[in-house]
Amino acid sequence: MTLLQVQGVSLSFAGSKVLQGVNFAVAEGAIASLIGPNGAGKTSLFNCITGFYKPQAGSIRLAGTETLRMKPHQVTRSGIARTFQNVRLFREMSVTENVMSGLHCRTSAGIIESILRLPGQRREEMMIRDFAEECLTFVGITEGWDRDATTLPYGWQRRVEIARALATKPKLLLLDEPAAGLTSSEKEDLIGLIGRIRDQRGISVLLIEHDTGLVMRVSERISVLDHGVMIAEGAPKEIQANPKVIEAYLGVEDGEASLGL
C-alpha cells in the first residue's frame, strides 16, 4: 500500500527550475532513500513534502490525503516528521525539553489551562514528558536528559533530533543526511536504529544520504534525482548497475566509486 505519493511536482525560484515533474512513492512500512549529486533538488523535495516550500505544480498525498496546501505544522500533525542536514536543537533547553517540543502538535490543553496549571494540563504535561523519555531511550540515550541539548556530543545531538521527530508520532519519517558527521561506529548504530524505527514503531522511513554505502545497506528502494529530474528508481542492485545513475555521479569511473561498486 502506498503511503506517500508525489506526482508531477515542479518547483522554480526566480525562473530557475529546481524540480521538474517529479513522481515517486514510498510504500507503507518501507525504508527508502532519495539520492543524487549535490544540487539535485533532494532537500528542496523534502521541503515540499513537509510544507516549507510550495511547488508551482503537482500533488503530494499522505495515505490518500492531499498535503500540498497544508502549513508545516499541519503536515506534521498529518503524520510526516523530519530531521535536518544541520542539527537544529533548541538552545538553553534540556534534552528532554527538546524532545517534548515535538509533541506540541498533539497537545490539547489550551492557553488558560497552561497559565493556571489546571489538573488536565499537568496530567498532559506528565504524559508528554514520559513519552519524550521513552523516545530518548528508544534512540539509545539513557542519561544526561537534563543537560542543555546543544552541549551533547554531535552524534548524540543527531539522536536527540531523531527522538524529537519520533515524538510527533509520525507515519513517515524523513531523515536529511542523518549520517553526516558521524563516526563509522555511529553509522552502524544508525543503520540499526533506522531498522528498529520501521520494525518496532511501524514508521516508514525516507532518507537523503550522501553515504551511498549506507544507503545500499539500509534501503529497500532507492530513487535518484539529478538536476531536479527523477532519473531512476529501483532496488539497490538495480541502482548500482544503472548507467544513468553512474554517469550522474561525476562520470563512470568516479560514479562507480561513489556508489560503492
Provide the grid cell at 5.
505519493
Residue 236 has a CB neighbour count (10 Å cut-off) of: 19
State the Cα torsion 247-251-256-260 to the nearest 10°: -90
Residue 255 resides in a domain:
yes
In terms of residue numbers, what domain contains 199? 1-79+174-261
Q: Is the domain of 190 the same as that of 66? A: yes
Nearest residue to 211 (alpha-carbon basis) of 238, 232, 184, 229: 184
Average pLDDT of the residues in 121-139: 88
Residue 150 has a CB neighbour count (10 Å cut-off) of: 15
What is the Cα–Cα distance from 47 to 41, expressed in whole angstroms?
A: 10
More confident residue, 248 or 229: 229
Residue 84 resides in a domain:
no
Residue 85 resides in a domain:
no
Helix and strand numbers, DSSP H then E, in the chain: 11, 10
pLDDT category at 121 given cuts 50, 70, 90 is low
Q: What is the percent of the chain where pLDDT is above 90? A: 76
Q: What is the percent of the chain where pLDDT is above 70? A: 89
pLDDT category at 91 given cuts 50, 70, 90 is confident
pLDDT for position 107: 58
Contact 49, 43 (CB under 8 A): no
Residue 27 resides in a domain:
yes
- How many distinct structural domains can be found in the chain? 2
Average pLDDT of the residues in 31-38: 94
φ, ψ for residue 195, nearest 5 deg? -60, -40
pLDDT in tens, 170-207: 999 999 999 999 999 999 999 999 999 999 999 999 99
Residue 70 resides in a domain:
yes
Contact 197, 173 (CB under 8 A): yes
Residue 178 resides in a domain:
yes
Last residue of a domain, one of 116, 139, 169: 169
Average pLDDT of the residues in 139-168: 95
pTM of the model: 0.88
What's the distance, CA 227 to chain centroid? 21
Q: Is the domain of 44 the same as that of 124? A: no
Can you give the CATH number for the domain in which 38 is found? 3.40.50.300
Nearest residue to 57 (alpha-carbon basis) of 26, 24, 19: 19
Q: Is the domain of 11 the same as that of 55? A: yes
How many CA atoms lie less than 13 Å away from 171 in the CB half-sphere? 17
Q: Is the domain of 197 the same as that of 68? A: yes
Last residue of a domain, one of 169, 203, 236: 169
